Amino acid sequence: MATESTAASQANGSSGVMDKGLKKGAIGYVSNIVIGVASTAPAYSLAATLGFVVAVKGVGVHAPAVLIVAFIPMLLVASAYKYFNRADPDAGTTFAWTTRALGPITGWMNGWAIFLADLIVMASLSDIAAIYTFKLFGFTELGNSKAATIVAAVLWIALMTWICYRGIELSARIQQVLLGTEVLILALFSVVALVKVYGSHPPSGSVKPSFSWFDPTAMKFSDLVVAVLLGVFIYWGWDSGVAVNEESEDPAEGPGKAAVVSTLLLVLIYVIVSAASQSFHGVGFLTSEENQGDVLNALGKGVLGGTLNKLLIITVLTSASASTQTTILPTARTTLSMAHWKAVTALLSRVHKRFLTPTVSTLGFGALSVIVTVVLLLLSESVLEDSIAAIGFPICFYYGFTGIACAVYSRDELMKSARNFLLLGAGPLIGGLMLWGVGVKGAIYYGHAANVSSKPILGITLVLWMGIGGMILGFILMLVSRPFFRQFFSRKLETAPAGILERPPAPTVPPQVDF
């Protein structure tokens, strides 16, 4: 365990990231990008969410515009991640950074928000992985069986937990294969769909893309904001590449750059695939009850044909399984960091002597994910649908706080140059406030029973119970924890080390070949 002198940094001095026992220099810049993009699960996110985005009142064919608007705060917050990581390359990311900038209460709550969002999403990811496994091998009846789906979902979680436990290098190699397969198939799908739309015999109901599809001003502002909450879910996850910073070749620089590059790659993928999807049969096809929750599979046979449609099944399967793995990775490192900061029990700080990965944090999160997944799948499919909207609240919370904390933490550096003011102050602050605004609007929208799938409980919709109720539960747990972790909760506020945001620090380990 690190000493207290290494655990805490001095205000206005070096951040002094403590050694948590993770493997140094294990992965490179490419792997940081791959983990960031794969964690968003592009194919799964589009398959599960695009139909619901299109169905939002006033959106329709303007779904690509929604995804462009949702990208803006993501890019601005990614800038905050880049420069925060340069100053403080801690695997706890938002937890550590908001603790330094805004205090231990805010830091603890942001750590909880990451944990909550990751825990909720595991159910939908493993459910999709299970269903698509059955589809791939033609076991249609098993895919319709709740018992079989639950068993397969649990097995997927167990497999991905084991991979994360065995080492970061194995995780990174698997991610490269899964993401490469996913992106190639999505590209093939988009090209074939657009070629057929512009061909001599276009599909029934097809609509040729128009510039208006990409114009956010073509929608009412209130409709756009509601749709952006779903867009936030689609983009969420790119920060996973930063959570493995302490295991990266250049921990202070590479992961932060990867976060920005990941968001740029994602907006390109999402805009192209969404435009191709809605042009093939029109938005009515995407919003129909039988297609809305799985638009890529619904479009597959028409776009690629009966045989090649297997490729789309493979891409959604690889997407969901890859994201299951990259959800476990950052969560385990967040709780590992919280334990080293003495914000939670020291049990979560344990690292495997051989694999150099978090042990209790990884296995514990895997076990909790199994419990939550079984419960949600037993309740109903509508509960699973509502969980996607619910995840948006903790995401907006911790992404928003990261942007705001960056401006506060860097306040002594902001006036040194226009670049510092824009990239460290104005940009992250605007991005954070935008996400908070989306969260507030989403709470109002999903507070109405007519806008959710499940029945209200005690007059409150399930989306609010899971999303906002989950955050309130975290606040209660934080209050209960304070007497037991006085050292952490007595920490003082800090500011960014002078000049460290203006010059990249030297790599802490020699460059290695990235696998």
CB neighbour class for 492 (10 Å; exposed up to 12, middle 13-18, buried from 19): exposed
Q: Would you give the distance in Å from CA 80 to the centre of its chain? A: 16
| CATH code of the domain in which 105 resides | 1.20.1740.10
What stretches of 167-253 show up as alpha helix (H) in DSSP? 168-197, 221-235, 240-243
Does 254 reside within a domain? yes
Side-chain-facing half-sphere of 301: CA atoms under 13 Å: 4
- Confidence class of residue 290 from pLDDT cuts 50, 70 and 90? confident
Per-residue pLDDT at 363: 96
Per-residue pLDDT at 16: 62
Per-residue pLDDT at 141: 82
**15 against 14, higher pLDDT:** 15
- Confidence class of residue 505 from pLDDT cuts 50, 70 and 90? very low
**Nearest by Cα to 488 from 206, 104, 222:** 104
Does 2 reside within a domain? no
Does 498 reside within a domain? no
Percentage, residues of the chain above pLDDT 70:
92
- Confidence class of residue 230 from pLDDT cuts 50, 70 and 90? confident
Q: Say yes or no to pLDDT of 130 above 70.
A: yes
Distances (CA, A) of 67 to 140, 225, 268: 33, 11, 10
Does 11 reside within a domain? no
- Confidence class of residue 504 from pLDDT cuts 50, 70 and 90? low
Mean pLDDT of 126-147: 86
Does 387 reside within a domain? yes
Please state, rounded to an integer, the average pLDDT across all residues of the chain: 87
Does 515 reside within a domain? no
* Choice among 294-298, 354-358, 381-385, 412-416 with the minimum mean pLDDT: 381-385
Boundaries of domain holding 245? 21-489
- Confidence class of residue 338 from pLDDT cuts 50, 70 and 90? very high
Sequence-ordered list of residues with C-beta below 8 angstroms from that of 199, at least 6 positions apart, any chain:
none
- Confidence class of residue 409 from pLDDT cuts 50, 70 and 90? very high
Does 6 reside within a domain? no
**Nearest by Cα to 401 from 96, 145, 182:** 96
Does 154 reside within a domain? yes
Mean pLDDT of 194-200: 91
Q: Say yes or no to pLDDT of 407 above 90.
A: yes
pLDDT in tens, 464-496: 999 999 999 999 999 999 999 999 999 999 988
Tally of domains within the chain: 1
